[in-house]
Amino acid sequence: MQTIQLSGASLASLIHDLEHAADTDQSVSFCLENGLTVKIGGGLWSPPIGGPDPVNQPTLYPYLDLSTALLPAHELRDIEQAPPTVIPHEYGAWIHVMDDDDWPQEEPTSTTPPPFAHLRAVLEAASALGAQWINLDSDGLDVLESLPTFEH
């Protein structure tokens, strides 16, 4: 087993050497700032998913591009007062998909539906699909078959 000695190496070069060692019988040793030497044997380390240098990789957030027809006119009109983060734009809004636990707990009356009931249903469906954001767009064609649509 051959040893590669690293001292003061950048994270990118360390990851590169660890990837190389993972493909061979080599081990990698590197010195920490406190003088401690760490040794990782070949085949015992695998690179992180997403590339060799996760520190410098941007984070991607999945989003759904949906039609504003999923919300009734009154919810769309008042969207900026909704509990999640909302970023309005000319054709609709970007909406952060928040956890159901983060919604204010309000007891609806028998005659009044809970505020933003349709938005909440859209967010629950988006969360189930793994989306972290929704782009509600008046030109958007995508709807969720399980939810009603509204004419504007």
What does the pLDDT read at residue 105? 72
Residue 151 lies in a domain: no
Does the reported pTM lie above 0.75? no
Q: Which domain holds residue 37?
A: 3-56
> Is the model's pLDDT at 77 over the cut of 80?
yes
- Asked whether residue 27 falls in the same domain as residue 68, the answer is no
- Asked whether residue 74 falls in the same domain as residue 121, the answer is yes
Q: How do beta strands 92-96 and 3-7 pair?
A: unpaired
- Asked whether residue 107 falls in the same domain as residue 122, the answer is yes
Number of domains the chain contains: 2
What does the pLDDT read at residue 12? 57
| Backbone φ/ψ region at 92: left (φ over 0), alpha (ψ -120 to 50), beta | left
- Asked whether residue 67 falls in the same domain as residue 31, the answer is no
